Amino acid sequence: MLFRRELERAGIVRLHPDFYLANEWGVPFPSISIGIPFYLAQPDLIAIHADRNGYMEGVSPTDLLRFLRHEMGHVVNYAYKLYEQEDWTRQFGSMMQPYTEEYRPQPFSRRYVRHLPGWYAQKHPDEDWAETFAVWMTPGWIGVRFTRIGRKRSRSSTIATGPWLSSRARSFADGHRSR
């Protein structure tokens, strides 16, 4: 599976999420199971879903990986209870913050990363984390992650030094930080 290779390449070797078919994308708190929309498992179901909704997101391998990286952020958060750490709360906010469907995004905000459409990171601290994690995990960011994210530097180093990474990946991050 493409995603497993990507996890390995990112240095995520200690944490193995489960996958199951669900109604929609998501990771039920506090599990480490990634729900993948069931219709993605069958080409004819994809066709039906596309027919009903007119628009079909997350079907191409590129889209799938984007969602998987995002959900992996939730997995890491829950597996290591990052949301209980002071440093995490300082950077992303409180997990207790209510989840509102009607959030008012600031489209030009530089405080948040943009990954999935819809300024998703601004929705909730957990989503902010998942989106930041997804950007960090995206191939091509390796090596430039620490310079390009800019003001997100401390956030990305929180990710890059976590216990879910291989020691090799962590020493790579340390080298980048000390520059």
Residue numbers of the site for Zn ion (CB under 5 A)? Answer: 127, 130
- To Zn ion, the closest distance from the beta carbon of 98 in angstroms equals 15
Quick one: 100 or 178, whose CB is closer to Zn ion? 100
Cα angle 113, 115, 117; round to 5:
115
Choose between 68 and 127: whose C-beta lies nearer to Zn ion. Answer: 127
Shortest Å distance, C-beta 23 to Zn ion = 15
Using Cβ positions, the residue closest to Zn ion within the complex turns out to be: 130
Find the length of the chain: 179
Q: Give me the least distance between CB of 70 and Zn ion, in Å please.
A: 6
Q: Is the dihedral of CA 60, 66, 67, 68 positive or negative?
A: positive
CB atoms closer than 10 angstroms to residue 99: 11
Minimum separation from the CB atom of position 162 to Zn ion (A): 18
DSSP secondary structure letter of residue 14: S
Alpha helices in the chain (DSSP H): 2-10, 43-53, 61-79, 86-92, 125-137, 145-148, 153-160, 167-177
* Side-chain half-sphere exposure of 3, counting CA atoms within 13 A: 19
Q: Which residue, 78 or 164, is less far from Zn ion as judged by CB? A: 78
Torsion angles phi and psi, residue 9, rounded to 5: -65, -35
Q: Do 77 and 130 touch, CB atoms closer than 8 A?
A: yes
CB of 130 to Zn ion, least distance (A): 5
